[in-house]
Amino acid sequence: MADEPTVGGLAELYLGNLLYALERCALSLQEEGKPLDAAFYRGIGRKLADAHGQAQRAGGPPSSHVEPRE
């Protein structure tokens, strides 16, 4: 089952969607008066975005790269 997706591969594939969802969550928490909780989720998004940028600079595949499935 080498063709099964990995957590990292799925996170890479859906990174934009994940970052959007994390920011929407943070905005909602901010509106609820929970700035520390909002900062926590924004921090997760920042770490994901930074890791993606580092991978791109190191010559990783573009985020739109999808491995073909058989």
31 in a domain, yes or no? yes
2 in a domain, yes or no? no
47 in a domain, yes or no? yes
Q: What is the mean pLDDT of each run of 10 residues along the chain (70 residues)?
A: 84 95 98 98 96 87 49
9 in a domain, yes or no? no
52 in a domain, yes or no? yes
State pTM to two decimals.
Answer: 0.75
Whole-number pLDDT of residue 4: 87
Residues 47-56 have pLDDT tens digits of 999 999 998 8
Domain membership of residue 43 as a residue range:
18-57
5 in a domain, yes or no? no
Residue with tokens 């491995």: 67
Whole-number pLDDT of residue 59: 85
Whole-number pLDDT of residue 68: 43
As a 3-state breakdown, the chain gives helix, strand, coil percent values, each rounded to 5, of: 65, 0, 35
43 in a domain, yes or no? yes
Our count of domains for the chain comes to: 1
